[in-house]
Amino acid sequence: MNKVHSLRDHLTTHFGWLAANPQAISVFVKGGTFGDVLSEPGEPLHIGYAYTARILLIDFAGDMREFTAVLWDWINRHQEDVAQNPQRRAMVRFEVELLDNALADVQIDLPLTEHAKFTPRPGGGFEVEDGQEPQWEAPHYPAGWGVTVDGQIIRPFPSTDDPGER
């Protein structure tokens, strides 16, 4: 379940409020199933995993719109089928409990998949190799693009017009 670690790292690195309050986030696996299990005699075993990652934000006081942009940035890079398939996208669910005018507890459920290859070792056991992540290409962002809230850019995207800004 490597994606839950990647997801948590991405959120705490790229969302300023969580970088300052890392104790406010928990990411764990709510439930899952084994997807494809492919096995041929003498060949490596391939096992797929399908599960729901649950993100909990406790006493959240950040901007939910910016958090959502950072979350979908990760989804676009690491779970492309969720980003592009309306049925899978509809499986991303959230609940918010307003604690007062400034704080909320937020729960987000996100369907994830990943797979691993298991090659038998001589004498027993397996060498484990993680499945390949899709290769993500950075989109083209002209200068001045970013996450905009109320007409102001609050998180600029690096421009791909100037190679020095990458």
Quick check: 98 pLDDT over 80? Answer: yes
Confidence at 75, pLDDT banded by 50, 70, 90: very high
Residue 107 domain-assigned (yes or no): yes
Residue 97 domain-assigned (yes or no): yes
The number of distinct structural domains making up the chain is 1
Residue 53 domain-assigned (yes or no): yes
> 115 with 32: CB under 8 angstroms?
no
Residue 163 domain-assigned (yes or no): no
In angstroms, rounded to a whole number, what is the distance separating the alpha carbons of residues 8 and 91?
A: 19
pTM for the predicted model, two decimal places: 0.74
Residue 17 domain-assigned (yes or no): yes
Alpha helix (H) residue ranges in the chain? 2-14, 16-20, 64-78, 80-84, 86-89
Residue 22 domain-assigned (yes or no): yes
Residue 77 domain-assigned (yes or no): yes
For residues 104-117, give the mean pLDDT.
95
Residue 99 domain-assigned (yes or no): yes
Token pair recorded at residue 21: 């309050």
Quick check: 49 pLDDT over 80? Answer: yes
Domain range spanning residue 54? 2-135
Quick check: 136 pLDDT over 50? Answer: no
